[in-house]
A and B are shown apart, each in its own frame.
Chain A
Amino acid sequence: MAVTARLSHDGTVEHPAHWHREGEGEGGRDHGLFGPTGPFGPNGPFGHRGPSWLRRGSCQSGPPRRDPADRLGGGVAAGVAAWRGFNPAVVRIVFVLAALVSAGWGVPLYVAAWLFMPAKDAETNIFSKARTDTAGIRLAVGLGSLLIFVLLVAGALNGGWFVSWAWPQVFSVAGLVLIWRNASEEEQATLRHLLEPLGAAAGDVTHEGSWRRRGTILRLGLATVLLAGGLGWLFSAHAKMALLRPLGGVLLVAVAIVLILGPWWLRIIRDLGVERQAKARAEERVDIASRVHDSVLQTLALIQRRADDPQKVVQLARMQERELRSWLFEGKDPNSEAEVLTVTTEVRKIQEDIESRYGVPVEAVTVGDCDLDDNLSALLAAAREATVNAAKWSGANVISLFAEVEPGEVAIVVRDRGKGFDPELVPEDRKGLAESVRGRMARRGGTAVVNSAPGEGTKITLKMARAATVTRS
């Protein structure tokens, strides 16, 4: 137990009970670097008991497998991390450092691991499939050789460190081509995502209109010229050791990159905007949904429960309709009460009251509007009484209530197509019309005219002169 003993001695593991349980007594064997007690094993300093930024979970049995669920590229780093119980982020940093230190050779090594390491839920690795893909191999070799040619030319033009870094990428490109052609559907989607900037540049050419295509060709052509010019400038400057020239070269390269990737960046920004809009719409939807639930759905539920009572159903539907209308078209909150008293609001109140109390629809129309004074309040009280009478006695299925505010007077007409009556023969017990309507109007200097005949319906016309006030509408 050399390793474990040393560890406890260093004070990394201080809990005796912990030490005892994991030490497995004197008979424990050293399993080497990756064994349970080795430095990279679960109990080693870089394994399970390492510092928290390194640890993540328990080790996996068997060979390492790529983890497509937790990937940035091929999921190799995540696979290795899961295999040894490391934090994937740490493994990724190590990979990147290794690629830098190895002068670019880390990249083809990564691609190779991608090829040979099977994915978590797959039976075989990608290479076993790629072996039979002759077209893919040909393509890989072709692209690799093309890159070699380019690098040879660049080397001849004094490419410097750039070329030395690019050489290993010949293998990376070949490997990626094979992966591209032979990976599972899901992995191909990831690749497409990674290569989208290039795809966007090429995609414009293939499936857009001719104007757009011409623009793209122009853009790509310009980019190529600038890129070549910039790189040439950079390399030649390197040779001549001029101070200002590299800046110009860098500028040209930057412009070229913007030309190539610009549309892609723009699309990303546009997508973000669309996403924000969608979010705003979703919030609005939630607001409307809660409103609809509070009013419309509740009423519909009530209507279903009262389906055997047609009058009640009509009443509920009318009430809901009015509420929805005032919210949708007039922008009024149905629950806000603070309203100025005007002819229009009073007529609407009469309509609402009669409809909810007697279940008879009232078609109300008002023309113009003005504030109420005592005389007009009396007029509206009379109109209310006349409407109640019509709802109670006429038997009509709809009552119309019409109010018109004119500069000199306000007229209200209450009309139904119900059974009607002979005004001469009103029974004694029906005082409503005589007292509440006629009397009320007469006391305030207004007029009430009743037109009715049996079977013809009833029309009551009420008129009241206005005090000299300003018309509202």
Chain B
Amino acid sequence: MSMPRVVLVDDHGIFRSGVRSELGRQVEVVGEAEDVQPAIKLISELKPDVVLLDVHLPGGGGQAVIESVKASNPEVKFLALSASDAPEDVIAVIRAGARGYVTKTISTAELADAVLRVAAGDAVFSHRLAGFVLDAFASGPPADVRPSIDPELEQLTSREREVLRLIAQGYTYKEIARELFISVKTVESHVSSVLRKLQLSTRHQLTRWATERRLA
């Protein structure tokens, strides 16, 4: 596979140049933007494979970029990247359509791997996002669940929960595959399925989750 073309969107110049120099060998960084409107314009022009997107941006946040680009260029994939672990941020960008979420403390190798994975159409969850998702889909009383078209979307299968638990414990996909005696492809499909549920579920925990968490 050729190197994926990547656009960096982050309002922090030092961080952009850091990521650019670190990822320089594994991916092709074709452009940088530091604000919502320029980012939307740049992405529509360049049509990159992956956009590395900061969650917190002046003028609307990463969510606004995803929503606007998705309408015209649905094939562009987003990997959210943030210093924030605040659940409302994470859940919001994922539900807007990001293919994954990693924190800025991630190592270079892991970040490069995550970009390649997203470019190939997989989902990428940081250990913390996996924790959030488990929390949001925790088996609660059915009163939590609003009537939905597809009840399948409202809960995780036990296999998916297992995979998420291992991600939360810091396992790589390869390690998960070995631990559960399944193939890496199967792990990937589980994670993608979780992502789909995360984006389409009407579980109101997903929207109310952040506030509940704050009270805890």
A contacts, CB < 8 Å to B:
321, 325, 328-331, 342, 344, 363, 365-369, 398, 400, 402, 404, 406-407, 413, 415, 417, 459, 472-473
Contact = CB atoms under 8 A, between A and B. Distances in A.
Contacts of A330: 86, 214
Contacts of A321: 105
Contacts of A363: 127-128, 170
A407 B139 CA distance: 9
A48 B216 CA distance: 75
Given A329-B85, A415-B170, A402 B165 contact: yes
A413 B216 CA distance: 22
Interface string B118-131: 00000000011011
Contacts of A365: 127-128, 130-131, 168-169
A306 B110 CA distance: 28
A366 B128 CA distance: 9
A426 B138 CA distance: 38
Contacts of B170: 363, 398, 400, 402, 415, 417
A330 B85 CA distance: 10
Interface size class of B (residues with CB under 8 A): 20 to 34
Contact of B135 (A368, A407, A413, A415): A368
A331 to B, nearest CB: 7
Interface of B: 84-86, 105, 127-128, 130-131, 134-135, 138-139, 165, 168-170, 212-214, 216
B213 A473 contact: yes
30 contacts: A328-B84, A329-B86, A330-B214, A342-B216, A363-B128, A363-B170, A365-B127, A365-B128, A365-B130, A365-B168, A365-B169, A367-B134, A367-B138, A368-B135, A368-B138, A369-B216, A400-B127, A400-B168, A400-B170, A402-B165, A402-B169, A406-B139, A413-B165, A413-B169, A415-B170, A472-B216, A473-B135, A473-B212, A473-B213, A473-B216
Contact of B168 (A342, A367, A368, A472): A367
A329 B55 CA distance: 13
A433 to B, nearest CB: 19
A400 B169 contact: yes
B109 to A, nearest CB: 12
Contacts of A400: 127, 168-170
Contacts of A406: 138-139
Given A329-B84, A413-B165, 9 more contacts: A329-B86, A363-B127, A365-B127, A366-B131, A367-B138, A369-B216, A400-B127, A415-B169, A459-B169
